């Protein structure tokens, strides 16, 4: 399976998705729909950015994504 699994490519795609969310145009909606769209975009960005910053590893059939959330000093 590891020969078929491109972890670096997967991480790159998540980085691309995070960037795409930042560039996403706001549809012509207002009120509660607008608020829901913005909240979803913020959640999408956070999810994609976290995985995009992960350090992946594949050991003994298990993919592990390590995400360091400690503040940079």
Q: Kindly report, residue by residue over 3-59, the tens digit of the pLDDT.
A: 588 999 999 999 999 999 999 888 888 889 989 999 999 999 999 999 999 999 999
Half-sphere exposure of 38 (CA within 13 A, CB side): 8
Residues 50 and 70 sit within 8 Å (Cβ to Cβ)? no
> Is the pLDDT reported for residue 60 higher than 80?
yes
> What residues does each domain of the chain span?
7-66
Q: How far apart are CA 48 and CA 44, in angstroms?
A: 6
pTM above 0.95, yes or no: no
Higher-scoring residue by pLDDT: 47, 73: 47
Banded pLDDT at 1 (limits 50, 70, 90): very low
Q: How far apart are CA 21 and CA 26, in angstroms?
A: 10
């Amino acid at each position: 399976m590891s020969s078929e699994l491109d972890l670096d490519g997967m991480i790159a795609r998540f980085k691309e998705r995070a960037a795409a969310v930042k560039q996403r145009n706001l549809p012509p909606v207002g009120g509660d729909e607008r608020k829901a769209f913005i909240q979803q975009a913020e959640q999408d960005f956070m999810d994609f950015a976290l995985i995009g910053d992960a350090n992946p590893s594949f050991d003994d059939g298990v993919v592990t994504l390590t995400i360091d959330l400690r503040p940079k000093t």
